Chain A
């Protein structure tokens, strides 16, 4: 029984849990619930164990609060006091809101880490499900040699994890749908909006300027999709919409990017040629009409598209690397000043020097100084690289065989005498022709169809899971060698064998199930 000396911060009566009435207690370090009329808690969670709380939406008949634990379990409380249910829930929620963050830091770091790893790595999660949840191996064993990094107090690899970039085609993902009455519907998700904002800061600025004072969010996006800005093939004909300014800003940004010039002199097309011919000399084979006067509307719309693509790609690229930019910029700057001081005999910018060195280097002509590694020696590198192919094409015919059979057929054809009493029925003949036509059954051997194109993806997925799980078990198995502790011996002879057995039978079950499904 819990000591009563604990400080009780809040008591809420008439709270149901698993359809039982009871009382909820919020204490200094834990939350607990006891059924009515009993003097003990049947539910008790340390705040440190709680990952988060969730509440039922307003307007639902039941007023509920759910606690999700780090382990993934959850407990739901139903506030049943009709008159004050909402108020009770709010009070509990508020208090939890204050308390939980305090314990967050104290929360089991390891557990959190495991959780994070499982969340971030779907393959690992699947493995966890296959091996631990289905009780092939225990959780401790599963984690035994994975958590090495966690207990090392080196959080760096996790803290500066790479930020997810933006898909280059995010605008394409906003497919308009007709709503059936002369309108278009665009589906925007938070992700897409985020992408738009990150890629086009000018739009974000417009958004913060106009929403919600001048426009509602919906109006804002409606105008966005109607704008010339969004449709890159249309030329801005001077109609005023709020995005024409964005287009101008883009133009400016593009210009400043261009005038900034490039850092790598080897891609600088302007200084590529030592000497362009003086004006008036040379042959102009094509006449590129650069003057705007004689450009057709189509031409300028085409070049507008090209400009926009370059701009878009540059912006997407910049959005992805914006974070790391500061650091790398500084680095390059320091290195450049550094390089200059050393490079006294030539006033070449160091970037150039480095790039030139790179360009003339023949790494294979120089003796390697790298540590020797053991090369992977594959007997059938083709199978390694391309995966299994159907057995059919593995049946190897030598060219001699082929020549022989061609000769044989030729011979047969030459001596062919039709015996008109024994001919194929017309249906059989048609099907034979079909089978021998491109795409027919007998013509498939030539095109090496990879097996991954013949097997449905779900089956591939299942097989992959089994394969990964078996691999993990084998890893455990091999890691027991050399067997130099009694524990390892125990592990090896005792349950590892059992485990492999389990895994094997799992595979067998899957296979039989597959066969059954097939037939």
Chain B
């Protein structure tokens, strides 16, 4: 159908439309009009991707000078491929409707192994790739730095974007890293020797260039051709590479010294935590390394590798890592922490020293993106509470909205099970984690559910260790045996290949009618990347509240930083983080309006307002007071009721006019009125 979105003609490749899709497009258009950033939460399964693509493509066609490019970032390879398929569908629709073959060029990049940085990326109208291509400075520099300023950037499935940012800027150094780095440095030295004998001119030429400094890059940045690189701060661009590392030999010598220093730091007996300035002071005191040459390390190494014409850069990953670390630690006095641990907490007898250089501020990595591109849209099915993202990513959105899912029948049924039938409070909290009664009641809940839920059930645990213990305990108590009478059991393991196999078998068992249960882990790969549509997931159980492992020093440092810099209280952040993962887990089962599924939150803490209030609106609004603190039996009764209702045929006519609209219905005054209520502005 052809839609009129506030005066913009939008081709939408379907016969019908969901009201929330229309509402979403409206908000999106306002964001683009304002040339600002947006945060939009819309439940998965409501056709978010096609709405995005339809509107932005239409916008590009209508205002080719205002928006020149769409950069669509998603998280997993299947997600990226789905976007490409949807885009293909949209383009086919354009061709069919307009009769002209379109000259739109879309490009999808996936897997760095066969990455091809073709100039085409500059001409493409749409680029689809993974987050890392934009957020990881090491890759962004190669792939994305020349993307036009007038681009619209979309981060889909962005609920974890802060972690991606942090990961891309953090470095861990072990003894093995240092040993490999040592080898790298030796190789470099030998290569330099060889070149000196054969082609000394090359090295002289490099030296000359380094005296000139990084002016070239500076020019580019001032004229706004490049995306800024957070590893290459502005000040560096003004200056020449310091003399102490300008010649190749000096630089190699410098790296050796730095390496020896790091080795000495890893020889600690107790945990050390310090800030970047403290680290710099120490390195100056001990080995007289100045801050300035450190800052140039990454650039200097790249230049050397280019000069030496080294083809396989992967072999030099260790020295690259160390040089990146050197630049980062000397560039940012804030937002990072250094933690040196001599051994793992669980095994204090085995020496395994690690230096963690952890980024605590996700805004550092994403800052260049917000600064450079005119519109950045952050969107996902679960972004609640919306206001926290602008705070931790440090940007000012022009639109923030959470969309509900309009439903002709309530196809999701969130239940909070807080008690066993014996009234024992259910919770995964630390004090009762080993409690036999809780574990037994959890088992009982799963057993009862396995008897009444058709086909597939997915159960998530808060951590892998927790799941292992519970499974062992259920096995001893004979609970698993009883569950096996109803369904086959598959369990996520720490091995991705093994889990993939289990997943496929799980789906097979759902497919052939036998029914199966998948035991899985929140924050794991399954919870983040696998959908359980229709019969692959008729119920999701969330055993406990998936808090992150709070004893980690890195996390503690980050919490402290959030408190000091952003005034976010530790508990608020932890709860937010736990709830977004819980929402991700339970949201895996509902992938559309014709789908249906139970969402069982098995922990009494979910009933509290501070937890519940952080769930996405489209889940929250279906939790009523009657389903807040249920016993297992009560939950089973409600579930039975729900499942029987859902099992009735559900036809298109049932939805039409309510949660599914024809063009005429959409254009009616009354409907337009209603639609304004779908978007919940914050």
Q: Which residues of A contact B (CB under 8 A)?
A: 165, 167-169, 171-172, 232-233, 254, 257-259, 261-275, 277-290, 293-294, 298-299, 301-303, 305-307, 309-310, 313-314, 316-317, 320-321, 352, 356-357, 359-360, 362-368, 375-376, 381, 385-386, 447-448
Q: Which residues of B contact A (CB under 8 A)?
A: 14-18, 47, 49-50, 75-78, 80-82, 85-86, 89, 110-112, 129-130, 132, 136, 138-139, 163, 166-168, 170-173, 177, 317-318, 321, 344-347, 350, 356, 358-359, 463-464, 468-469, 471-472, 475-476, 478, 480-482, 484-485, 487-491, 493-505, 507-509, 512, 514, 516, 525-526, 529-531, 533, 548-549, 552, 554-555, 592-594, 637, 640-641, 644-645, 647-649, 651-652, 655, 660
Nearest opposing residue in chain B for A293, CB measure: B350
**Contact flag A305-B526 (CB < 8 Å), given A356-B81, A364-B594, A448-B637:** no
Nearest opposing residue in chain B for A277, CB measure: B167
Residues of A within 8 A of B89 (CB): 360
**Contact flag A286-B15 (CB < 8 Å), given A169-B485, A233-B472:** no
**Contact flag A270-B85 (CB < 8 Å), given A281-B168, A313-B488:** no
Residues of A within 8 A of B139 (CB): 275
What are 25 sample pairs from A and B whose C-beta atoms fall under 8 A apart?
A172-B481, A262-B501, A267-B500, A267-B503, A269-B530, A275-B136, A278-B138, A278-B317, A279-B177, A280-B171, A283-B359, A284-B172, A302-B471, A306-B471, A309-B471, A310-B493, A310-B498, A313-B489, A360-B49, A362-B14, A365-B15, A366-B15, A375-B651, A376-B649, A386-B641
A285, A303, A313: the one within 8 Å of B493 (CB): A303
Residues of A within 8 A of B78 (CB): 265-266, 272, 356, 359
Q: How far is the CB of B322 from chain A (nearest CB, A)?
A: 9
Nearest opposing residue in chain A for B115, CB measure: A275
The CB with the most chain B CB atoms within 10 A, among A269, A294, A362, is that of A269
A-B pairs with beta carbons under 8 A, tally? 255
Q: How far is the CB of B44 from chain A (nearest CB, A)?
A: 11
A168, A263, A293: the one within 8 Å of B504 (CB): A263
A262, A286, A360, A364: the one within 8 Å of B503 (CB): A262
A509 and B136 alpha carbons, distance in the complex (Å) = 82
B49, B167, B594: the one within 8 Å of A283 (CB): B167
Residues of B within 8 A of A284 (CB): 172, 356, 554
A423 and B593 alpha carbons, distance in the complex (Å) = 60
The answer to whether B503 and A294 have CB atoms under 8 Å apart is: no
The answer to whether B498 and A258 have CB atoms under 8 Å apart is: yes
A278 and B167 alpha carbons, distance in the complex (Å) = 10
Residues of A within 8 A of B75 (CB): 273
The answer to whether A278 and B321 have CB atoms under 8 Å apart is: yes
Residues of B within 8 A of A293 (CB): 350
B14, B500, B529: the one within 8 Å of A262 (CB): B500
Residues of A within 8 A of B594 (CB): 363-364
The answer to whether B644 and A385 have CB atoms under 8 Å apart is: yes
The answer to whether B14 and A294 have CB atoms under 8 Å apart is: no
A267, A274, A313: the one within 8 Å of B80 (CB): A274
The answer to whether B14 and A279 have CB atoms under 8 Å apart is: no
Residues of B within 8 A of A282 (CB): 167-168, 170, 172
> With contacts A294-B346, A316-B488 known, what are 13 further pairs, Cβ within 8 A?
A233-B475, A267-B503, A270-B497, A273-B529, A278-B138, A303-B493, A310-B491, A313-B505, A360-B49, A364-B592, A375-B651, A385-B641, A385-B644
**3 closest A-B pairs by CB:** A172-B481, A274-B130, A169-B484
Nearest opposing residue in chain B for A313, CB measure: B488
**Contact flag A385-B112 (CB < 8 Å), given A275-B130, A356-B82:** no
The answer to whether A274 and B505 have CB atoms under 8 Å apart is: no
**Contact flag A302-B472 (CB < 8 Å), given A262-B504, A281-B170:** yes
B136, B358, B497, B505: the one within 8 Å of A317 (CB): B505
Nearest opposing residue in chain B for A363, CB measure: B594
Residues of A within 8 A of B356 (CB): 283-284
The answer to whether A172 and B554 have CB atoms under 8 Å apart is: no
Q: How far is the CB of A165 from chain B (nearest CB, A)?
A: 7
Nearest opposing residue in chain A for B558, CB measure: A283
Q: How far is the CB of A328 from chain B (nearest CB, A)?
A: 11
The answer to whether B499 and A269 have CB atoms under 8 Å apart is: yes
Q: How far is the CB of A161 from chain B (nearest CB, A)?
A: 15
The CB with the most chain A CB atoms within 10 A, among B75, B472, B647, is that of B472
Residues of B within 8 A of A262 (CB): 500-501, 503-504
